[in-house]
Amino acid sequence: MHELSIAANILDIVLNEISSGNYKRITGLDIIIGDLSGVVGDNVKYYFEMLSRDTPAWDATMTFEYKKSKFRCNSCEKIYERDSFSILCPYCNSGGTVVESYTSLYIESIEVE
Ligand SMILES: [Zn+2]
Tens of pLDDT along 5-60?
A: 999 999 999 999 888 888 899 999 999 999 889 899 999 999 999 999 999 999 99
CATH topology of domain 3-68+102-112: hypothetical protein PF0899 fold (3.30.2320)
Long-range own/partner contacts, residues 68-71 (CB < 8 A, 24 or more apart) = 68/35, 68/102, 69/34, 69/35, 69/36, 69/98, 69/100, 69/101, 69/102, 70/98, 70/99, 70/100, 71/96, 71/97, 71/98, 71/99
Rounded to the nearest whole angstrom, what is the distance from the C-alpha of residue 15 to the centroid of ligand 1? Answer: 46
**Residue 68 CA, ligand 1 centroid: distance in Å:** 18
Q: 3-state DSSP call for residue 27?
A: strand
Q: Residue 57 and residue 74: Cα distance in Å, rounded?
A: 46
pTM: 0.81
Between CA 25 and CA 18 the distance in angstroms is: 7
Residues 6+ apart with CB under 8 A from 23: 17, 56, 112, 113
In angstroms, what is the span from residue 33 Cα to ligand 1's centroid? 26
Per-residue pLDDT band for 1 (boundaries 50, 70, 90) equals: low
